[in-house]
Structure 1
Amino acid sequence: MMYKLITKNEVTTNLQSQLTLLYKQLNAELTQLDLNTVLSDYKTTDVVICMDDDILVGIAMMAKYKVISGHKGMIEDVVVSSNYRGKGIGRKLMEKLLEQAEIEKLNDVLLFSGHHRTAAISLYKSLGFILKESGMYVKNY
């Protein structure tokens, strides 16, 4: 298995096609942006992938932003192929993102997870994340 923080120039048509299929395992109804759009020239998103030879088996992303309360990261879209779950891939993807957070001296790294995702929640807690009572609201467009 190879874990790598990717850049915009490393995105191929094949990788994008595999990502489209992988994300359907997270949410088949999700409208996806392509990786070239996500990996903008502003470097606001870190993308870590896990490859098994030439097969994309996992991905995780961290959007970065600055506000008055500090420089923050928001982990989003952590997906491991159902054929590869339980092998520590999600942990290694998360660890790579957290290494980036340290390198970039982020003040906080946030993430949201559905209460039903017990395996993911166990992973996040083991990496030091704590549940914050936030009262999060969302408005869809």
Structure 2
Amino acid sequence: MQIDILSEVTDEVADAFTRLLPQLSSSAAPLSRAALAAIAAHPATTVFVARDGETIVGTLTLVLYPIITGLRAHIDDVVVDSAARGKGVGEALTMAAVRRAGEAGVRTVDLTSRPSREGANRLYQRLGFELRESNLYRYTIRQK
């Protein structure tokens, strides 16, 4: 298992995201190569990819952003290929993101996970993430 930071969007990377994105979200629109490259190049994001040999089997996005109370970190869009689950891919990706956040000076790392993702929730708790009592609100902006 090798964890890399995405720096270049190749055909292999584009194909991997085309395969992985539907496993993450049934409603997410496919990403163009340009959109994926823009995300990878954005100064607030670090996109990690996990490889099993030559095959990309997972990805995670770490977002670092400054706010009044300090530098914050959030893990988003974690997905492991269904054929690679249970092999430590999610753990390797998550811990790589935690290390990167720590190196940046962040004190805490947040993430959210739907309750139905039981395996992912068990993993995060096993890695030391603590369930916070909080209200998560979402406002949907209607596009014209």
**TM-score higher than 0.5 here?**
yes
C-alpha offsets along residues 52-74 of structure 1, whole Å, 9 cap, x if unaligned?
23321010111111111110111
The corresponding residue for 1:18 is 16
Distance (Å, rounded) in 1 between the aligned partners of 2:130 and 2:74: 14
Please give the residue correspondences for 1:2-13 in structure 2 after superposition, counting only pairs within 5 Å: 2-7=2-7, 10-13=8-11
Distance (Å, rounded) in 2 between the aligned partners of 1:14 and 1:140: 34
Q: Percent identity?
A: 33
Distance (Å, rounded) in 1 between the aligned partners of 2:40 and 2:48: 11
Quick check: 1:71–1:108 contact (8 Å CA) kept in 2? no
Is 1:112 paired with 2:118?
no
Residues 113, 12 of structure 1: alpha-carbon distance in 2 compared, 3 angstrom cutoff? same
Is 1:39 paired with 2:40?
yes
Distance (Å, rounded) in 2 between the aligned partners of 1:53 and 1:13: 17
Q: Which runs of 5+ in 2 are unaligned?
A: none
SS of corresponding position for 1:49 = strand
Is 1:129 paired with 2:119?
no
Distance (Å, rounded) in 2 between the aligned partners of 1:38 and 1:32: 14
1:31 deviation in Å? 2.3
TM-score between both structures, scaled by the size of structure 1: 0.90
Distance (Å, rounded) in 1 between the aligned partners of 2:121 and 2:5: 23
Q: Which runs of 5+ in 1 are unaligned?
A: none
Distance (Å, rounded) in 2 between the aligned partners of 1:32 and 1:136: 26
Is 1:139 paired with 2:143?
no
1:32 deviation in Å? 4.7
Distance (Å, rounded) in 2 between the aligned partners of 1:6 and 1:17: 14
Distance (Å, rounded) in 1 between the aligned partners of 2:73 and 2:113: 15
Distance (Å, rounded) in 2 between the aligned partners of 1:125 and 1:68: 28
Is 1:89 paired with 2:89?
yes
C-alpha offsets along residues 35-85 of structure 1, whole Å, 9 cap, x if unaligned?
2121234x2111111112332101011111111111011100110000000
CA RMSD across the alignment: 1.4
